[in-house]
Structure 1
Amino acid sequence: MTPSLNSIISRLHLKQLRLLIALGDHGSLLKAAQQVALTQPGASKALQEIETTFGTPLFNRTNRGLEPNEVGHCVIRYARLIHTDVAHLREEIVGILRGHGGRVTVGVIMGAVPLLTDAISTLVARHMEMSVEIVEDTSATLLSQIDAGRLDLAICRTTISQVPQLYDSVKLQDETLAVIANVRHPLRHAKTLTLEDLAEYRWVVYRANMPMRLLLEREFRDSEIRFPPHLLETTSAFATLTLLQGNPSFVALVSIDVAQFFAHHKMTCILPLTLASRSEPYELVTRKGAPISPGSRLLIDELIGQRGAQPILCPRTL
């Protein structure tokens, strides 16, 4: 029977987590013991205590050493996460004590990456010791990471959530979309284009049911044009870029900020197609009721200041 959460919390120690990580790295009790400054008998006893805490063996004993079983792999993975979180905790405390804001972990959807990176570049120029972790993903994934406490804030959309009331949000800016292509695309010199002109080309798009994809489907439907059946689906800006650069006939729908960044660096061109539909705005999102760290507050203020947005976040700080 698996021990209760209270039992695990009361018996598990951070040094034991270091031992688990070392065992995962080396597969040898002796090498792991040396890494965490224990004798081999001491490490063996500590491992027995860990396995007792979880109520199950975590390793298979083989001629080659210790190999994590399925539960062992799970426990080692969480040990690494906890170790990383403690490291981030220390880093943030140091930052607070030194007055430079510490650390912030922020999520962002692909289209808003230039918006976020502009704000971060300005912020770290003023707070050079501040650390920032950027996680790029879909709105759904970013909101789930906010729920789990893995992100301090995110630039995404709460409209995809069934419970948007769980979040505080600020409208940062409307999203304008553009169609981009290889700089050698056959229609690169066209003065104006319609959706029908591009219907037979291969599209790189977001996957189904995501806001940008739904908008494109609506554009085809309203124009009474069959939606392209053979798509390349990705949420990665880099994957989109490499697909376009490798295939002169491909086209992709992205935010105007991403499109202008690529075009400025001559990586892609913007095709002269005007879309009738409007995309949903970017939101700056935090978990309702969660404390806002000094580092997060600095980034929030930078984003809001750059865009002139009116905050509706409560001024909570740690």
Structure 2
Amino acid sequence: MDALLRRGLKLSHLRLMAALAEAGQLGLAADRLGIAQPAASRLLAEVERIAGRSVHQRTGRGIALTPIGEALARRAMRVLMELRDAGREMEELAGGGAGHVRIGSVTGPALDRVLPALRTARLALPQVSAEVVVAPSDLLGQQLLAGRMDFALGRMPPGMEGELTLSAPIGAEPVALMVRRGHRLAHGGRIDPIELMDFDWVMPGPEALLTRAVMERLTDLGLPQPPQRLATSSFLLTLALIQQSNAIAPLARAVCDRFAGTGSPYVILPVDMGIVVEPFGLLTRTGAILTPVAARLCSMVMAQGGEGAEGAD
């Protein structure tokens, strides 16, 4: 970076490269930066002069970055994220501890760790606001890399090992099967696992960790793959579907325990299939430094003794 700075690399160049990586078109990148397209073209030409190599190539639909351009864009995005976080930290210090924290989590930890921590933070950190995104680990990883959240509880998404850091495992999660109250199998008696295959199962897509854990366990038990006419990672859609049909939903046991209580429209089937989703941990951008407020809220989340893990990954 020192050599690039000596050659005249400026913050405006970094902003353009980051915008190009996201937009894929010079005009859209210019719009994001609030400049005219000719000005963006001049900045791009300056970047290539400073780099001494081509950083882009034109395609039928816009611009594609060369490997060198992609490398510079990745670094540019990290520099801009760090500068933005530096600004947030300065505001937090000037505001006496006030700030906004963006948290990501897979479903189980969101209930067992994030929610209790936020209840505590309402009293201990009254000037801190928080935003929580509940999603599968691959989406959380994308949000982290885009700088749209400070930290997340989840599992390492494939292909992001070099850009994200995962803490030591916090806990694995057994999976239970949840259905609507009144379901034919919810009679409290012994269930033959082969009976489960007579009903539709609602799970995320085949690439999701939960789905893979379910399918691998069924294979180990010598059972066929269950019918799955709808694949969704939406927890709300899953709840609605099993409430209105005879579908079966494999979900984190921690999630089932909260939604299948007395008087609930849901019940847990009395069968243990031995399905366990691999442990989750704390996900952060590699090398990133949390702002003081984010670090404090992260400590509160990690201090929770929850048993949960994810139900939508």
TM-score by length of 1: 0.62
CA contact (8 A) 1:153 1:285 kept: yes
Describe the SS at the equivalent of 1:205. coil
Cα distance 1:76–1:200, how it changes in 2: closer, same or farther (>3 A)? farther
Cα distance 1:308–1:102, how it changes in 2: closer, same or farther (>3 A)? same
CA RMSD after TM alignment: 5.2
Relative contact order (C-alpha < 8 Å, sep 6+): which is higher? Answer: 2
Cα distance in 1 for partners of 2:32, 2:131 equals 33
Answer yes or no: is 1:180 the counterpart of 2:178. Answer: yes
Cα distance 1:13–1:241, how it changes in 2: closer, same or farther (>3 A)? farther
CA contact (8 A) 2:201 2:248 kept: yes
Q: How many residues are aligned here? A: 289
CA contact (8 A) 1:119 1:299 kept: no
CA-CA distance at 1:279 after TM superposition: 2.7
Describe the SS at the equivalent of 2:115. helix
Answer yes or no: is 1:92 the counterpart of 2:89. Answer: yes
Residue 192 of structure 1, aligned match among 189, 195, 200: 189
Pairing 1:93-242 to 2, within 5 Å after superposition: 93-100=90-97, 102=99, 104-126=101-123, 127=125, 128-132=127-131, 134=133, 136-138=135-137, 153-157=151-155, 167-169=166-168, 171=170, 175-182=173-180, 186-187=183-184, 190-192=187-189, 194=191, 195-206=193-204, 207=206, 210=209, 213-215=212-214, 217-218=216-217, 221-222=220-221, 224-228=222-226, 230=228, 232-241=230-239
Cα distance in 2 for partners of 1:271, 1:88 equals 44
Q: Report the residue type matching 1:251 in the other structure.
A: I
CA contact (8 A) 2:213 2:276 kept: no
Residue 71 of structure 1, aligned match among 65, 75, 87: 65
CA contact (8 A) 1:188 1:271 kept: no
> Percent identity, aligned pairs only?
20
Describe the SS at the equivalent of 2:90. helix
Describe the SS at the equivalent of 2:168. strand
CA-CA distance at 1:201 after TM superposition: 0.9
Cα distance in 2 for partners of 1:94, 1:191 equals 57
Cα distance 1:281–1:297, how it changes in 2: closer, same or farther (>3 A)? farther
State the partner residue of 1:251.
248
CA contact (8 A) 1:153 1:284 kept: no
Cα distance 1:14–1:174, how it changes in 2: closer, same or farther (>3 A)? same
Give ranges in structure 2 of 5+ residues lacking alignment: 308-313
CA contact (8 A) 2:102 2:132 kept: yes
Deviations 1:161-183 (A, max 9, x none): 9x9xx754263x56343212356
CA-CA distance at 1:129 after TM superposition: 2.9
